[in-house]
Amino acid sequence: MTALVGTRMVSDDRTARQIFEDLVASSKAVKFGFGDKLAIINVDVQNAYTRIEEFATAYEADANQIEHINTISAMARAKGMPVVWTHVAYAADASDCGVWGTITDTADSLQNIKYGSRRHAFDDRCDIDQARDVIYTKRMPSAFFETPLQSLLVFHKVDTVVVTGGSTSGCVRATAVDSLSRGYRTIVPLETTADKHESYHFANLTDLKLKYADVEPVRYVIDWLRSRPKA
């Protein structure tokens, strides 16, 4: 019988959270780390996904998520590094949502987030500098898809992308994968992301950490920004 050198799919009784925590505790993987200049990409920190007391589509993992996002955004801004905020919205007839909008059609459905609506608006707890920060409305999961984000990062000579927001399993993951695919060192601060269920949240954080990004405490980003001169 030939000895195995690979691995058959593993099944055990651990939860997704436990698998992630075990990975963090045991991981000896080399980090992507920081380059010389980062950008903060805050993905879809809008009422539809943050106001859990108001919308069925909203979710929360860390109660201080937006506070953490504001902290690193302010620090990056003070260092002369770009801060980007994205949110999603669609035309009145949802004709710009594409096939994504064909899965469901209820009041809570993605394609029924309309321009200028309460669901489209950023959570007012977000400290957005309207004069300096960059705001994009996107229509698909990745913040890179059909937005000027890539050109912005090239112009500012960014080599490191920090991705925050939600959902971990959706738009954060898609943005992080696209970031790595474009050659950026990619970092996902743990406390700044959220999802509807801890299984989705931690399973995707595990996958990101294993393949696509440094998943680290937000303090990892804070400490690096504090040490950097103004760009």
- Indicate whether 4 belongs to any domain: no
How many domains is the chain built from? 1
**Is residue 153 one of the residues assigned to a domain?**
yes
Q: Which positions of the chain have pLDDT values less than 70?
A: 1
Tens-place pLDDT, residues 92-132:
999 999 999 888 889 899 999 999 999 999 999 999 999 99
Note if 126 is an active site residue.
Answer: no
β-partners of residue 138 are 88
DSSP characters for 173-213?
A: HHHHHHHHHTT-EEEEEGGGEE-SSHHHHHHHHHHIIIII-
Inside any domain, residue 3: no
CATH (domain of 198): 3.40.50.850
Tokens of 48: 């539809």
- 22: in domain: no
The active-site residue out of 58, 171, 177, 221 is 171
For the stretch 169-195, pLDDT in tens is 999 999 999 999 999 999 999 999 999
- Residue-level pLDDT at 53: 97
In a domain, 9, yes or no: no
Look-up of token digits 């003070």:
78
Please report whether residue 12 resides in a domain. Answer: no
Cβ neighbours of residue 170 under 8 Å, at least 6 residues apart? 141, 195
pLDDT at position 5 is 82
143 is written with which tokens? 């913040």
State residue 1's pLDDT score: 63
Structural domain that includes position 222: 32-227
pTM over 0.85: yes
